[in-house]
Amino acid sequence: MNLAAVRAELPVLARYAYLNAGTFGPLPRRAVEAMESQHRRDLEEGRSSREFFQGALELRERVRNELTRLIGAPEGSVALTSSTSEGCAIAVAGLGLGPEDEIVTTDIEHPGLEGPLRVSGARIRVASIRTRPAAEALDALEAEITPRTRLIALSHVAWTTGALLPIRQLADRGVPLLVDGAQAAGSIPVDVEALGCDFYTVSGQKWLLGPDATGGLYVRPGREEELRILVPSYFSWERGTFDPRAGALRFDSGWIPTASLQGLASSLAFAQEVGNARFARAGEMAEMCRELVGERVRVITEPGQSTLIVFEPAGDPAELVLALHGSGVVVRDLPGLGWVRASVGFWTSEEDLERLASHL
């Protein structure tokens, strides 16, 4: 991997030690150029020709295919969505759970997953894993599974601790398994078939370096028939009918801005060009981050987890984040927890990490 070439494509890195892909990834130059080209065409040519619509539809399929390949999903099993939150809600609401049903989840989930669970009508059983060693997460989760469990819903990588959760070990229990992949897809290798999950969400704007409000939802082939379509879009139906499209396509959540699709396609192509070596490099840099930060403050994230490194600073986390931003280091705090999170990517340099550590 040619680090200098990678970094030259991500202009924000020239200005900051940008360590917040867990919120929004650094945008590649080509993604913004692709969006600008689309806007200029829309401005001058209008948004109405046969080419415009055919192009937009083809672009949707191109992006769908790239996302599908990225997470090892079979063809036709990924819906295009605007976010992980939306993907979670489509799956949870579609199951049509009631007060007799139970959902098993954890105490480290993002509101994007917890919100849909809260409004589902089902009883929620929460496994407490935040303060336990990662190796104990499976036992804690299993202790909450009962004959009434109708859904197991949890993150692949915890946004608050960086822990890698035991997805594979929770699969194939006769209970649908929904995985919030927001912090995993693009940061670590993902293979939804090997994981054995039923639903898996992807965020475009984080580790995939895409525009905001892009994403995907994997639905295991066959499971689509068990999900009600509650918020249909133009793309839910076979053209000219109200027959649901095959597979996950019926859950396409609506028109995604054409420029955003262009941008995401460019971001995905960029990562593809960097190649699979990017995952190993991101892991190495995350480990280096853990070590450097760990020399100054207590690190929450255990070794060998993900590309999120969470730590407990000496002072107020929000003030530290602001001060770091002023010093050219971009991280985020985790409100309510007293922690700060650094997101490390294949684009991260040793110098980025040293800049972070030097200010702790």
H or E segment at 7? Answer: helix 3-8
Interface stretch with a second copy, choices 33-41, 191-199, 277-285, 301-309 (CB under 8 A): 33-41
Q: Fill in the per-residue mask, 246 to 285: x = in contact with a second copy (CB under 8 A), - = not in contact.
A: -------xxxxxxxx-------------------------
Question: Two tokens at 61?
Answer: 């399929």
Nearest approach, Cβ of residue 346 and a second copy (Å): 17
Is 101 a binder of a second copy (CB under 8 A)? Answer: no
Q: Name every residue whose Cβ is closer than 8 Å to that of residue 223 and which is 6 or more positions away in sequence.
A: 176, 198, 199
Which of 1, 5, 8, 119 lies at the binding interface for a second copy (CB under 8 A)?
A: 119
Is 36 a binder of a second copy (CB under 8 A)? Answer: yes
Q: Which is nearer to a second copy, 133 or 326 (CB)?
A: 326
Nearest approach, Cβ of residue 191 and a second copy (Å): 27
Residue 21 CB neighbours (<10 A): 27
How many residues of this chain interact with a second copy, rule: CB under 8 A? 68
Q: Which is nearer to a second copy, 35 or 177 (CB)?
A: 35
For residues 113 and 86, give the distance between their C-alpha atoms in angstroms, rounded to a whole number: 9
CB 248 within 8 A of CB 217: yes
CA distance readout (Å), 224 to 77, 95, 213, 236: 9, 10, 23, 12
Half-sphere exposure of 85 (CA within 13 A, CB side): 10
Q: What is the DSSP string of 25-81?
A: PPPPHHHHHHHHHHHHHHHHH-S-SHHHHHHHHHHHHHHHHHHHHHTTPPTT-EEEE
CA distance readout (Å), 318 to 16, 36, 287, 312, 359: 18, 35, 24, 12, 14
Interface stretch with a second copy, choices 16-24, 99-107, 268-276, 350-358 (CB under 8 A): 16-24
Nearest approach, Cβ of residue 269 and a second copy (Å): 17
Is 339 a binder of a second copy (CB under 8 A)? Answer: no
**Please, which of residues 72-91 interact with a second copy by CB under 8 A?**
82-83, 85-86, 89-90
Which of 1, 5, 8, 47 lies at the binding interface for a second copy (CB under 8 A)?
A: 47
In sign, the C-alpha dihedral spanning 254, 259, 263, 265 is: positive
Which of 77, 105, 236, 266 lies at the binding interface for a second copy (CB under 8 A)?
A: 236
Question: Two tokens at 358?
Answer: 């030097």
Q: Name every residue whose Cβ is closer than 8 Å to that of residue 79 and which is 6 or more positions away in sequence.
A: 87, 90, 216, 217, 219, 248, 249, 250, 251, 252, 253
Is 135 a binder of a second copy (CB under 8 A)? Answer: no
Among candidates 200, 184, 163, 206, which has minimal Cα distance to 19? 206
Nearest approach, Cβ of residue 182 and a second copy (Å): 12
Is 148 a binder of a second copy (CB under 8 A)? Answer: no
Among candidates 158, 130, 50, 61, which has minimal Cα distance to 337? 130
Is 20 a binder of a second copy (CB under 8 A)? Answer: yes
**Please, which of residues 158-217 interact with a second copy by CB under 8 A?**
205, 211-213
Question: Two tokens at 294?
Answer: 């760990």
Q: Which is nearer to a second copy, 73 or 95 (CB)?
A: 95
Nearest approach, Cβ of residue 195 and a second copy (Å): 25
Nearest approach, Cβ of residue 61 and a second copy (Å): 17
Chain residues in the site for a second copy (CB under 8 A): 11-12, 15-16, 18, 20, 23-24, 26-27, 29, 32, 35-36, 39-40, 42-50, 82-83, 85-86, 89-90, 93, 111-112, 114-116, 118-119, 205, 211-213, 228-234, 236-237, 240, 242, 253-260, 322, 325, 330, 332, 335-336
